[in-house]
Homo-oligomer: A and B are copies of this chain.
Amino acid sequence: MMHLAAFMFTPGSHSAGWRHPEAVPECDMDFRQYAHIAQVAESGKLDAVFFQDTVAVNGSASLDGAGPYRPRQGRTAYLEPTTLLSALAIVTQRIGLIATATTTYNEPYNLARRFASIDHISNGRAGWNLVTSQIEDEAGNFGADHHMAHAERYERAEEFFDVMAALWDSFGDGALIRDKDSGIYVDTAKVHLQNHRGKHFAVRGPLNIARCPQGRPIVTQAGSSGPGMELAARTADLVFTAQSDLGEAQAFYADLKARAAKHGRNPDHVKIMPGLMTIIGATEEEAQARYRELQGLLADENSMRLLARLCGDLDIFAYPPDAPLPPLPLSNAAQARQRHLVEKAKRENLSIIQVARYLATSLGHHLLVGTPATIADTMEQWVKAGACDGFTLLSPYYPAPLERFVAQVVPELQRRGLFRTEYAGTTLRDHLGLPVPPNRYEM
């Protein structure tokens, strides 16, 4: 059985998808659209919806009061994911609800409370996508002139997770007695202090919220660099990664599962779900026509700006667009995504503009154009070949492509016995087949 999550990146993961006649770009700010998308995903019995997040408008770092201000056209404004999750918890019943929140510009006490609260409100469906902030734009909104270095960000993220996980164990099961006769509200022996003192954080605890229905919310991770993989292997229940080559994906999968085992974890308890964008047609021709229609909406200038963000200090605009991709200096942003692109360009002999367009199409993630049957073939092959445990589904725009996936590909996967036809449990942990972790203070 595979696992499926719907990646939420409004108004679409294809950088010009919102221009498609079917697209409803108002899904950026309109809660009713978000509710509809989550309900569509739930009707397809997907494990979760998964919200990306950035604490900035892209492109804001390039100026200091001097114009012109040129954010990328497309993703600019959207609802904040944690407040969104708890509202979505009310309009859905079973689907998991995952939101990204950065460890770079938050405090663990505040974030632990919010995700625990969402887990209570949703009856055990919350997930936290732990990230480090990747773009310079974000630093400027938090008093920093320059972005924290990659290694320091990961060091802080490791400690951030440890503090969060400990805070989530603050209350033992049954700590809240609420005994009217004796006047004893809380069994203080079951309330645990953290007294954490580390390099980045000092947190006494306890968290002022009872333990979650899931023990703790699901933790997901998208880092695929060396430090990112180590963090994921030690801490993540679900890993979102960019893999578009079967062999590379198998190697990543084997590597990450082995690292999890080295950390003393059951490798089955780390679900690896690479990104996948599908463009679906009743026939191959129809699918290809849909793909060409989408690509016709791209503006090369926008695509090049997406690529430039992954080029570190190198000025990619100084090269002719048809030249091969030059060697890129190590970026302080998404290092794994950068490496993935460089390898793909080498393998497929892509020019700069071709790499830029690829990035603009699927955010650098795996793209499948085909019929429900051929798409299901590849998905089946990847899962059976040990390349992944499922997929994180990117939509070029909303909501039609996700509706099409649910209506056409999900039934095909179900017919093959590869995907659930009904939710077996009620929590996200149930959907992923993960046990509730014991409380560290009560083992």
Contact = CB atoms under 8 A, between A and B. Distances in A.
Nearest to A102: B110
Contacts of A114: 80, 82-83
A399 to B, nearest CB: 15
**Secondary structure call for the A interface:** loop
A42 to B, nearest CB: 15
A157 interface: no
Contacts of A64: 195, 204
A79 B143 contact: no
- Interface size of A as a range: 35 or more
A71 B188 contact: yes
A121 B83 contact: yes
Contact of A18 (B89, B180, B209, B210): B180
Interface centre among A70, A107, A185, A299 (most CB of B within 10 A): A185
B143 A77 contact: no
Contact of A183 (B26, B65, B73): B73
A191 interface: yes
Q: Quickly give the copy total for this chain.
A: 2
A31 B178 CA distance: 17
B120 A195 contact: no
A204 B60 contact: yes
A312 to B, nearest CB: 21
A205 to B, nearest CB: 7
B142 A79 contact: no
Interface stretch (A49-57, A341-349, A352-360, A426-434): A49-57
13 contacts: A25-B185, A60-B204, A64-B195, A73-B185, A76-B191, A77-B175, A83-B83, A83-B118, A83-B121, A109-B142, A140-B202, A140-B203, A142-B203
Given A19-B180, A74-B185, 4 more contacts: A25-B178, A60-B206, A68-B188, A80-B113
The 8 residue pairs across chains A and B that have the minimum distance between CB atoms: A140-B204, A80-B117, A90-B90, A73-B185, A83-B86, A83-B117, A143-B202, A86-B87
